[in-house]
Amino acid sequence: MICARCNTPIPRGAIACPVCNAPAPPAVKRPYALYILGAFLVLGYTVLILLAWTEPGGAPPPQTTEGLMFWSGVFGYYRAKRLGGSRWKSAGLGALLGLLGAVVVAFIAGMRA
C-alpha cells in the first residue's frame, strides 16, 4: 500500500503513514464467502447443463428450479451487501437468473430427450 499524500510505502497493518502521518486507507476485506458461493453456483449450473446434455432423460427434478432460484437469490443478496447496491433488487435479479438457468437446463434436456 502506498501513502496517497507522500507516496511512501506503508507497512501492512499500519494505521498511518510513517513519514507524513496521513491515515492509511482501511484494508479491503475480500468477500470470500461470496467467491465460494459463486463458485458453487457456477459448478451447480455446469453439472445440471452437462447432465441435461449427456444423459437421456437427464432433466433435473422440478425442485431444482426452486433451488437454483433460492441460491442465486442468496448470492445476489450478499453480492449487493458486500459490494453495494439494492440488496432485494439484487436478490430478485439473482432469483430471476436462477429461473432462467432452470429454463435453459429444461430446454436442453427437452431437446436431447
- Which residues sit at the interface with Zn ion, rule CB under 5 A? 3, 5-6, 8, 17, 19-20, 22
**Closer residue to Zn ion (CB): 22 or 37:** 22
**Taking CA 86 as the corner, what is the angle to CA 81 and CA 87, rounded to the nearest 5 degrees?**
45
The answer to whether 90 touches 79, Cβ cutoff 8 Å, is yes
- Beta-bridged to residue 23, according to DSSP, are 16
CB of 10 to Zn ion, least distance (A): 7
**Closer residue to Zn ion (CB): 8 or 46:** 8
| CA separation for the pair 2, 4 (Å, rounded) | 6
CB of 63 to Zn ion, least distance (A): 57
**Closer residue to Zn ion (CB): 22 or 74:** 22
Q: Where are the alpha helices (DSSP H) in the chain?
A: 32-54, 63-83, 87-112
**Closer residue to Zn ion (CB): 6 or 83:** 6
CB of 16 to Zn ion, least distance (A): 8
The CB density around residue 78, as the number of other CB atoms within 10 Å, is 19
CB of 34 to Zn ion, least distance (A): 32
